Structure 1
Amino acid sequence: MQCDYFDAGACRSCTWMGQAYDEQVAAKQARNAELLAPWPGTVWLPPVTSPESGFRNKAKMVVAGTVEAPTLGILDRAGGGVDLRGCGLHDPRLAAAMPVLAAFVTRAALTPYDVPQRSGELKHLIVTVSPDGSLMVRFVLRSTESVARIRKHLPWLAEQLPLEVVSVNLQPAHKAVLEGEREELLVGSTLPMRTGDVLLQLRPQSFFQTNGHVGAELYRQAAAWVADLAPTTVWDLFCGVGGFALHLAAPGRRVTGVEISEEAVTSARTSAAELPGVTFVAADATAWAPAQPAAPDLVVVNPPRRGLGPELAGWLESSGVPHVLYSSCNAVTLAKDLAAMPSYRPVTGRLLDMFPQTAHFEVVTLLERVGR
């Protein structure tokens, strides 16, 4: 992939930009093999690759510059705006929305936040596109000062873009935090995101895989492995908006998703409204799992980059659960967690290139308790 921003030195976020894609995938496979070498019996399936560009369904843009000439992108070292509205990683429909959103900043007189001066109102624009092309647009503001103007000019924006959800998020603190806790819906409430055979309902503060193509393959692979095991009870820990739980739903199977974010659980419950046997709980998975009276046939874990941690890994080790499906965005912490669970061995696994042009990758493994 060629990128003018990278070539000009304006943005170096994609550290592997310019490297041939097959070389990128091979390097990720080599790194994965190095980290998981202590488990040599694992059967590795061919990697899932991604389009090299246009794969991101979500754009997180820092807003800087002026009302008359806003920049949407990142900040340079001095805190000035670097406009990246033509980023090649974004779904083309996101790229097409950026000039319109920049014009809206001017029309609604939304003063971009100036980090060095600690002044201004609009900090970020977070935009998500669904497979059908509809948009969720979130304005991250320092205060409510400009909310009335956003409301006033929303009819114009709705004429220009296929808006499904519009919200404002308040992040008053002067620190490098993308968003705050308070969210106010202005238009709609959920963005329908079809992934594989499942229609997920995404609310503004809910996590969702930003690479829809590879995310669908991840859920498809998990469903195939679980179909062979045919468990009657499944826990999906760190379930987010319910991607794994909803794809693993089946007649006669009880699936419980656990997620600390109430917003994500609300999304998951909306998606599962007509699915018997699927429930979601808003709780800390690390505390929730050990507190249950009995363990399930299968546990799915999809933790953040820090991994499971010693407490949850220790509970799994002593739980007696026959199988664990572990989806990891950080193979370093995956290896650490596996070392803390010697009663399990990876039976099969697959690397998924969720993040082209970078060294990051996803890996999913099916673990089996030794001696079953």
Structure 2
Amino acid sequence: MIENTLREDGGALVRVADSGPRCPHYGVCGGCSLQHVPYSEQLELKRRRVAEAVGREPDEVLPSPVIWHYRNRMDYAVSPELAVGLRERGKWWSYVDVRACLLQSPEADAVRNAFRSFALERGIPGYDTRRHSGILRYLVIREGKFTGERMVAAITSEPLVDKLAEFSPPARVDSLLNGINRGLSDTSRADEVLIVRGGDTISEVLSGYRFRIGLNTFFQTNSYTAELLIKLVVEEVSGSRTVYDLYSGVGTLTIPASSVVEYAIGVESDPQSVDLARRNASENGSGADFLTARVEALGHIDADVVILDPPRGGVHPKALGAIVSSSPSKIIYLSCNPAKQGEDLAKLRGYRLERLVAVDQFPHTPHVETVAVLSRGARL
């Protein structure tokens, strides 16, 4: 028997009669806090979370087709002592030196462990976030689950290309990069990207479409459930004339949507993502167009359907106002933050929530993706 609930902050309060987490770091690492809960019960927890956040039961809760080794990106923090892993739960200053992670592939494990040994042997100083000293800040590994391609990026406080060129990974690496972050903020995002070996992108194939991904570009972290999201969106936009995809990234939703509508336009503020989206559209034979713009700066949106896939902070209030005043017939809102999504949905006056689907993008964690489909004609 399992008694469980989800806290407001997304944490889980769970009592389990028979627990058996597979990860050796479970209980200390800040990663998979639901690993000891049977997967069917995890889905039930997430169903409840979505219902509480949005105010109605989801019509479906779609499981991830793969629940181990599913992440296509991991950002491993590096301690001053060169522990390479994740932060201890509730202690941002404490590091778990991860030797085996069940979220990414065994090959990624091998690369991470080899890189730790390499950094120790070469005497590369880890970065101290308190003193703002040292060099090595993060190790980022991105993978194409359906292509086998892999990107490895050392995020450092100063260029380290010559030394990184000496690293010999034990598994396939198509792109070895040095991302430079000279700022004080603790982030794996690079202000400058230097190529050590290979190219500056890797490819992933989703639902028959090939997407190029860069170090800093947003991409759904679970390729298997990303295909479920694409299927849902394509179903909902099929036959429409004009679709605007706001927060479009590298075109993951815009390009598939373009195959079933007359016009598909993606709007994205990150120039690199827009460049890659245009390249992805061209290489996939898609007629999708992409604009470099902040969503909140848009005025009237001349669209039958608007797709929203914002960051965790939700849709900018100005953008919500512009959408309502533009009056598209349908809105499709994807979110990894159901609580914020619920707040935003309440502001879409004159729209009715027709469909709500929860997609388990993040097995063994409290997080869940939701797809809300709204039609014009009535208040929520």
2:42 aligned residue: 24
Change (3 A) 1:119 1:238: same
Query: AA paired with 2:263?
Result: R
2:181 to 171, 177, 190: 171
Q: Matches of residues 138-177 of structure 1 in structure 2 within 5 Å?
A: 138-144=153-159, 146-151=160-165, 153-154=166-167, 156-157=168-169, 160-177=170-187
Q: 1:232 aligns with which of 238, 241, 257?
A: 241
* 2:47/2:61 contact within 8 Å kept: no
Q: Distance in 2 between matches of 1:81 and 1:325?
A: 39
Do 1:262 and 1:282's aligned partners in 2 also have CA atoms closer than 8 Å? yes
Instruction: Give the deviation of 1:256 after TM superposition.
Output: 0.8
**Cα root mean square deviation, aligned:** 2.3
TM-superposed deviation, 1:15:
2.5
Distance of 1:96 and 1:133 partners within structure 2: 15
For residue 110 of structure 1, report the CA deviation from its aligned partner. Answer: 2.5
Whether 1:60 aligns to 2:67 is no
1:1-372 residue pairs with structure 2 within 5 A?
1-6=21-26, 9-37=27-55, 44-64=59-79, 66=81, 70-75=82-87, 77=91, 79=93, 81-106=95-120, 108-131=122-145, 132-144=147-159, 146-151=160-165, 153-154=166-167, 156-157=168-169, 160-186=170-196, 187-227=198-238, 230-250=239-259, 253-274=262-283, 275-288=285-298, 290=299, 292=300, 295-370=302-377
Closer/same/farther in 2, CA of residues 349 and 185 from structure 1, 3 Å limit? same
1:161, distance to aligned residue in structure 2 (A): 3.0
Secondary structure in 2 matching 1:4: coil
Distance 2:316 2:209 in 1: 30
- Which has a greater percent of helix? 1
Matched with 2:17 is none
Deviations 1:117-142 (A, max 9, x none): 54321111001111222211111111
User: Is the contact between residue 161 and residue 194 of structure 2 (CA under 8 Å) also seen in structure 1?
Assistant: no
Q: Taking structure 1 as reference, are residues 75 and 307 closer, same or farther at Cα in structure 2, changes over 3 Å only?
A: closer
Q: Deviations over 1:7-37 (max 9, x none)?
A: xx43143222311211111111112122333
Aligned residue type for 1:119: S
CA contact 2:240–2:260 (8 Å) conserved in 1:
no
In 2, the alpha carbon distance for the partners of 1:43 and 1:210 equals 22
Return the alpha-carbon distance in structure 2 between the equivalents of residues 203 and 214 of structure 1: 20
Preserved CA contact (<8 Å) 2:110 2:171: no
Deviates more, 1:238-247 or 1:252-261: 252-261
Count the aligned residue pairs.
354
Distance of aligned partners of 1:199 and 1:81 in 2 relative to their CA distance in 1, 3 Å threshold: same
Distance 1:164 1:301 in 2: 32
Q: Which runs of 5+ in 1 are unaligned?
A: none
- 2:9 maps to what in 1? none
Measure, in 2, the Cα distance between the counterparts of 1:117 and 1:34: 42
SS at match of 2:140: strand
Q: 1:143 to 1:306 in 2, by over 3 A?
A: same
DSSP-derived class of the 2:307 partner: strand
Determine what percentage of the aligned residue pairs are the same residue: 25
TM-score using structure 2 length: 0.86
| 1:354 and 1:361 in contact (8 A); partners too | yes
The one-letter amino acid paired with 2:48 is: A
For structure 2, list consecutive stretches of 5 or more residues without a partner in the other structure: 1-20
- Retained in 2: the 8 A contact 1:54–1:91? yes
Query: 1:238 offset after TM fit, Å?
Result: 0.2
Cα shift readout 1:63-89 (whole Å, capped 9, x = no counterpart): 2354xxx42103454945421131111
Once the two structures are TM-superposed, the CA of residue 5 in structure 1 deviates from its matched residue by: 0.7
Partners of 2:174 and 2:347 in 1: how far apart? Answer: 44
Pair 256,75 (structure 1): closer, same or farther in 2 beyond 3 Å: same
CA distance in 2, matches of 1:83, 1:130: 25
Deviation at 1:303, TM superposition (A): 0.7
Q: Please tell me whether the aligned partners of residues 307 and 334 of structure 1 are also in contact (alpha carbons under 8 angstroms).
A: yes
> 2: CA distance between counterparts of 1:80 and 1:36?
35
**8 Å Cα contact 1:72-1:102 kept in structure 2:** yes
Greater Cα offset, 168-177 or 353-362: 168-177
- Tell me the CA shift for residue 324 of structure 1: 0.9
User: TM-score, normalised to structure 1's length?
Assistant: 0.88
CA distance change for structure 1 residues 100 and 314 in 2, over 3 Å: closer, same or farther? same
CA contact (8 A) 2:360 2:368 kept: yes
Rounded to whole Å, the distance in 2 between the matches of 1:48 and 1:10 is 26
